[in-house]
Structure 1
Amino acid sequence: MVADGDRLGVGGHHFARLPIALLRAVAGGKARDLRYCAWAGGLPLEILLEADAVASIDICFSSLDIFGLPPRFRAAAEAERLPVRDWTALAMIEALRAAQQNLPSRTFQLPRGSAMMERMPTARSVADPLTGEPVGAVPPLVLDTLLLHAPRADESGNVQIVGARALDLAMAGAAHKVLVTVDEIVPVGILAGMGRQTVIYRNQVSAIAKVPGGAWPTSCLPHYVTDYEALASVLAGGASLADGLALPKDGVPIRLRKAAGISAAAAAHMPLPAVHAAPAPATVDEVMAVRLAAELDNDSFASAGAVSPLANVAYRLAKATHAPGMIIATMSCGHIDVAPSPLLLSLIEVFDAETAAAHAGGDDTYSALYQAGAVTHEIIAAAQVDRFARVNNIAIRRAKGGFIRLPGQGGMADVANMHRDCVLYVTRHSPLSLVAEVDIVSSARGLLDAEERARHGYRTSGTKLFTDLCVFELDPASGELVVTELMPGVGRDTVSRATGFPVRFAERCGEIAAPDGETIEILRRRIDPLGLRRLEFVGARERGVLIAEILAADRAVVDALAAREQP
C-alpha cells in the first residue's frame, strides 16, 4: 500500500512507539523515492536511508537520542545528496492541520529572531486580514501514507494510543492512507474501560495488521519498554539496521514486558545506586544541574525537550526540593505534570506516563500551552551560541568548506519567544561553541521588549546562558551577553580564553556557591542515580563507554525492581 514517490509520515516519537516492523517492510519492499515528512527523523529515517528509499526529507530535527547524531542522515545532508528542509514545529503542525481541516492555508506565530522562515520554502510572512499584523502562513501538508504502531485496536478498527502521542492525530487527519500495526486486537467495547488513552477512529484507518512486538526495540506502553541494549548493539554498526532490528524469534524479551509494569512508587521505596557516593565533591555536571534548578520555583511550568538530560535532571531536582508546586512536562509536552521520579533509562517513559496528570500530543499542547504563553521554561541545549544569545542547532560551516550537520532546532524557533524565561545551556564552553556570530540563526529571542511581548500575549523575564564555566545574562541595553556568575574555581581569564567574542563581566560578578550536601544526595540517589546528565559532557569517543556503563547499571536496577514487584 506504500507507493513510489509517496509523501510518507511516521508516527511515534523518540524511541517510543516507532512502527519498526512496518518500516522494515517498506525498506525491504519496492517503494522508492519516498518523500519523508515527520516531526523527527531519527531511527525511522535511518532505516529508509539505508534502503536508499528516500528522495527528500522534511523534518524539525533528527537525533538518535542518547546515541547521538544519526550517521546516515548526516552523511546525506552533508553531501547534499537529497533535499533536506527544516521546519519549525509550529509551521508543520499548522500545515498538517490545514490538510486535516480542508483549508487552503493556516496561520501561525512568526518565529521572530530566527532565520527559519527563509528555510521553509512553502511558508510565507503575510499580513493578517483583520489586524494587518505580520503572521506566518503555510499551505496544507498532505501525507500520502502514515505509518503508525499502537498497543491495540478493537475488532471494529478503532486504534488506541497510550501515553504521549506526538503529532499522531494531526498526521492521521492529514493522510490519505493510515497503516497501523498493533500488539493486540480486543473485542469491541473493551477500549471504553481502559482509562487514559487516545483513540484514532476507525474511519480514519486504512489497514491494521496485528504484529506483536511491532515497535521493538522501541517501546509500546503498556506492553513493553524500550530495549536500549538492543539499540546500542544495532547502532554500534556491523549488521544492517534492517537485520539488526528484526524481532527476536521468541518475541519481545520478557524483561521488557515486566519493566512496563513497574510502578513509580516501587522505585521511590527502593534504595538506588549512585555514580558518586555522597561525600565526594560536586562535579561540574552536578553544579550546573543544581544552579539550573535554582531558576525554577513553584510558579514554573517547565517542558523537557527532545534530548536534554541535564534540563530534565534540573526540573526534577527543583520539584523534589524547593519547588514542589511546579509543573513538569516531558516527552515534548506529551506527559503533563509528572512526579519527580528517578531518571532510570528504561523506566522514564513508564514513570512519567503513570504519574502524569494528563497525556497529550504536540499538536494540542502547542495551542493550549506554548502559544498561550503558559510554559515558563524549556531549558534548551545549544550547539553554537553568539554574543547576542542567538542559537545555531542546524549546521556549522567547516573552515575548509562544507558543513557539519546538527540535529536541527525542533521547536526552539517557536518557543524561544513564547516562554517567559529564555534559558540556554552549553556543556563544553569553547570558542567553537560560543562564537561572535552563529552560522545560521536557528532560534533566538526576537521579542525582547516587555510591552511588545505583552501585546503578543507573552510574559517577560530575562535570557540566560549557562555553561560549564559561567553564567551569562542578556543585557537589554546592549543586546549582548554579560557574565554574571563564575563556576567554582573558574577565573575570568579562563572564560575569556574559551569564548569566541570579547567577554564583558558584570560589576558584581561572583562565584556560584557549591551545592550543599543534602541537595547533592537527592540528586545522586533520588533523581539521577545512573548519571544520565553526564552524557551531555562527553565527546563522541567517550560516549560509547559511558553508555555501556549506564546500560549495565540500568539493567541491574530494573531487574531488581521487576523482581520485587513481580516475584
Structure 2
Amino acid sequence: MAEIVTLDELAKIVPHGIRLGIGGVHLSRLPIALIRRILAFGKKDFVFTSWGGGLPLELFLEANAVRKLIFCFSSLDIFGLAPRFREALENNRIEIEEWTALAMAQALHAAHFNLPEMPFQIPVGSDLMKTGTFWQQSSSVFSGEPLGQARRLDIDVLLLHAQRADSAGNVEIQGARGFDLSLLGAAEKVLVTVEEIVDPGILEAPRAFILPKQFVTAVARVPWGAYPTSCLPYYSTDYQQLLRYVESEQSRRSSKTHGVTSSQPEQQKTGVRGVPDAPRRAFLSTCASTRTSALTPALVSRHKSSSSGSPWTIDELMAVRLSREYDNSSICSVGSVSPLAMVSYLLAKKTHAPELTIIALNGGFIDIDFHPMSLTLAEPLEFGSAKVCWGGDETYHWYYQQGRITHEVITVAQVDVHGRTNNAWIKSKGKLLRLPGQGGMADVSNLHQNFVLYLTRHSPERFIDAVDFCTASRGLLTDEERTGAGLQPGKVRLISDLGMFELDPEQKRFRLLSIHPGVSLDKTKAQTGGDFLIAEPLPQTEAPSEGDLRLIREEVDPFGIRQLEFVPGRDRLAMIQRILTAEAGLMRELQASQANAELAKSTI
C-alpha cells in the first residue's frame, strides 16, 4: 500500500542530486506545488529529465537546482521562449543531453522492461543523431536493416500530479498523459500529489488510467497542486497568472541588463502563486467544466475580437490554403505551439472535411470535435469531446511509428531551400541564440505521410540556403524509400507569407508552386537566402472567400489566436492580454447565465 503523507513529508523524500522525472504535459497537470516545496527545502544538483522542460524547468533553473538536463524541447508554450532555459544553455551553465522524442520513449521503456536498450526508427536526415550520445546504430538480426538503439534511461524519482487517489494509494490520471506512462515504468519511486483522496472502489472516471498502488511510493492530497497549470475536470490553466509570470521574467531580464536589482521577494518576482482566491477558483472551475455546446454563436459573437467585413489578412490566407491540404481521410496531429495549424484543421473540419481526425495536446486527445479556438477553454473543450485520452508515447507507438498520421503542420525558426530545418541554435548579431529544440520533429518529418512547414515571416534569415545544424528533415524522401520503410508516400511542403513551395524529390530543392496575391516573384527571391525552383506557369494563390473569412472570424478563431504567430515578439504579451480579456468577458456572461438558470430552477 502506498503511504498517504503531507506535502512536506512528500517533498522530504526527494534527496539531492538524483535523476528526477517530471510528469504532466505542457500546461496541464504539472506538479507545481510539489516542485515549489522541494525547492523551498533547498534541494539541488538534479538531473532533470522531461520531454518538455517548460515551466517546471524554469522553476528549477531559477533555484539553480539543475546539474544536467535531459530533454527534447522547452518553451513557455504560447508565451514564447523559456528565458532561464535559454540563459542556462547559452552560457553553458548546465550539462545537456538533447534527445529525439521516440528515442526517449524507447529508453524509458528499456528501463521499464529492465533491458539495456530498446530499438527505434532512426530519424534519417537529422544532425541530432550525429551529436547525441543517447543512441548507437545497429542492424536487425533478421532483416539487416539499420536500427537505432536507445540506451536505457532510469528515473530515481518521478514527480506527478493527478486528479484522484484512493486511500489505498491507487492513482487515477485523467486527460492527456504526456510521457507519464513511460516515466512511471522507468521510475524507482513515484511521488504523487492529487486533488482528492477517495474511498476504494470510487476511481472510475471515463477514459482514465488507474496506476496500481504497488507502483506508487507516496501520495499527498494537495488541492490546486498543479496551479497555475490545469487539472481537469477541477480547474483550467490560469493563463492570466502565467502572463504575469512571463511579464515578471521580462522585467527581471530588463533589470539585469540595466544593472538594476529588484527588492521584491523571489516568489513575488516570479509570480508563481500557490492557490488563487475564491473568485478566481470559481472562474477556473467554470472554465474546466465548459463544453462546446455552451458556446452558442450569439454568445461568442458578443465577445469576438475579429472584425467582419474587412479585407483578408495573410494569416487568413495561409490558414485557408493549409486547410485545402486535408480531406475526410486525413489524420492531423497538433504539435507544440501551432495556432495557425490548428485553425487550418478546424476550418477543414467545419467545411469540406467533417470526418477529419484531429489529435490534440501532443497526442493526448484523440479525435476531438470542432470547437472555437481559445486559450483558456481549448483544453476543457478537447477534454470533453476526445474519444480517447492517451499519452504522447502511446500516440507515437499507435499512430506515428505505423505511419498513420497524414499531416502535422509545424513552424520552425529556420528552413533551407533543401527542406532542412533548424530549431536548436541560430546565429544573430554575432551571438549564438538557443531555440526550444525539435521536440518530435526529427521523428515525424519521416514518419508522417506529409511533412508540412510554415513560416509566418519569410526572410533571408529564416528561409536560407543551408542551415548550420539540421534538427529535422525528410531523409526518406522518394516513394521507393518510404514504402521500403513501411511508410506512406507523401510530400514536403512549405507555406510562407509570400508563397507556397514543394520539395522536389529528385533535385532536393524547394519549388515555388504559387505566389500570394500582391507579392512579386522578385520580392520572393529577395526575401529568400538561397535559390529555389519555380513552377511554370506560376499561378497566384487563391484568396480566401467571404465564406472562409466569416467562418474563421466568427466560428473557428473568434479571438484571433492565430495572429499571435504573426506579431513581433514585443507585441505578443499585449495581444495575449487582449485575448484573455475577451475570453474572460465571455466566461463571466456564461457564469451569470448559469447562475440565473440555477436560481430559476430553485424557485420552481
TM-score by length of 1: 0.97
Q: Contact 1:393/1:406 (CA < 8 Å) preserved in 2?
A: yes
Please give the per-residue CA displacement for 1:339-392, whole angstroms capped at 9, x wherever unaligned.
110112111001111111111001111111000011000001111000111110
Picking from 79, 92, 104, the partner of 1:80 is: 92
What is the match of residue 434 of structure 2?
A: 405
Letter of the structure 1 residue corresponding to residue 322 of structure 2? L
Q: Does 1:232 align with 2:243?
A: yes
SS of the aligned residue for 2:163 comes to: strand
What is the match of residue 126 of structure 1?
A: 138
Q: Contact 2:335/2:408 (CA < 8 Å) preserved in 1?
A: yes
CA RMSD across the alignment? 1.4
What is the match of residue 34 of structure 1?
A: 46
What is the match of residue 220 of structure 1?
A: 231
Please give the per-residue CA displacement for 1:209-262, whole angstroms capped at 9, x wherever unaligned.
100000011000010000000110122115677442222364662110111111
SS of the aligned residue for 1:422 comes to: strand
Letter of the structure 1 residue corresponding to residue 274 of structure 2? L
Task: Structure 2: state its 5+ residue gaps.
Answer: 1-12, 252-263, 597-604
Q: Does 1:104 align with 2:116?
A: yes
What is the match of residue 143 of structure 1?
A: 155
Q: What's the offset of the Cα at 1:276?
A: 2.6
Aligned residues, how many?
A: 565
In structure 2, the CA distance between the partners of 1:275 and 1:2, relative to structure 1 (3 Å rule), is: same
Q: How far apart, CA to CA, are the structure 2 residues paired with 1:414 and 1:242?
A: 38
Q: Does 1:313 align with 2:343?
A: yes
SS of the aligned residue for 1:466 comes to: strand
44-53 or 111-120, larger mean C-alpha shift: 111-120
Q: Does 1:195 align with 2:206?
A: yes
Q: What's the offset of the Cα at 1:269?
A: 4.9
Please give the per-residue CA displacement for 1:386-427, whole angstroms capped at 9, x wherever unaligned.
011111011112452x41100100000001101111100011
Picking from 546, 554, 560, the partner of 1:531 is: 560
Q: How far apart, CA to CA, are the structure 2 residues paired with 1:408 and 1:518?
A: 38
| Residues 219-298 of structure 1: pairs in structure 2 closer than 5 A | 219-237=230-248, 242-243=267-268, 244-248=271-275, 250=277, 253-273=281-301, 274-298=304-328
Picking from 557, 560, 563, the partner of 2:586 is: 557
SS of the aligned residue for 1:440 comes to: coil
What is the match of residue 221 of structure 2?
A: 210
Q: How far apart, CA to CA, are the structure 2 residues paired with 1:398 and 1:331?
A: 31
Q: Does 1:548 align with 2:559?
A: no
| Residues 159-174 of structure 1: pairs in structure 2 closer than 5 A | 159-174=171-186
Please give the per-residue CA displacement for 1:79-135, whole angstroms capped at 9, x wherever unaligned.
111112211100000000000111111000000011121232121111112221111
Q: How far apart, CA to CA, are the structure 2 residues paired with 1:323 and 1:23?
A: 43
What is the match of residue 372 of structure 1?
A: 402
Q: What's the offset of the Cα at 1:267?
A: 1.3
Q: Contact 1:47/1:242 (CA < 8 Å) preserved in 2?
A: no
What is the match of residue 415 of structure 2?
A: 385
Q: Contact 1:278/1:517 (CA < 8 Å) preserved in 2?
A: no
Q: How far apart, CA to CA, are the structure 2 residues paired with 1:497 and 1:269?
A: 44
What is the match of residue 505 of structure 1?
A: 534
Q: Contact 1:266/1:565 (CA < 8 Å) preserved in 2?
A: no
Q: How far apart, CA to CA, are the structure 1 residues paired with 2:276 and 2:53?
A: 28
Task: Structure 1: state its 5+ residue gaps.
Answer: none
Q: What's the offset of the Cα at 1:18?
A: 0.6
What is the match of residue 421 of structure 1?
A: 450
Q: Does 1:157 align with 2:187?
A: no
Picking from 89, 93, 99, the partner of 2:101 is: 89
Q: Contact 1:67/1:232 (CA < 8 Å) preserved in 2?
A: yes
SS of the aligned residue for 2:538 comes to: strand
Identity of aligned residues (%): 44
Q: How far apart, CA to CA, are the structure 1 residues paired with 2:265 and 2:506?
A: 55
Q: How far apart, CA to CA, are the structure 2 residues paired with 1:124 and 1:241?
A: 43
Q: How far apart, CA to CA, are the structure 2 residues paired with 1:249 and 1:255?
A: 10
What is the match of residue 255 of structure 2?
A: none
Q: How far apart, CA to CA, are the structure 1 residues paired with 2:297 and 2:164?
A: 32
Q: Contact 1:259/1:562 (CA < 8 Å) preserved in 2?
A: no
Q: Does 1:363 align with 2:397?
A: no
What is the match of residue 478 of structure 2?
A: 449
Q: How far apart, CA to CA, are the structure 2 residues paired with 1:559 and 1:91?
A: 45
Q: Does 1:330 align with 2:360?
A: yes
SS of the aligned residue for 2:27 comes to: coil
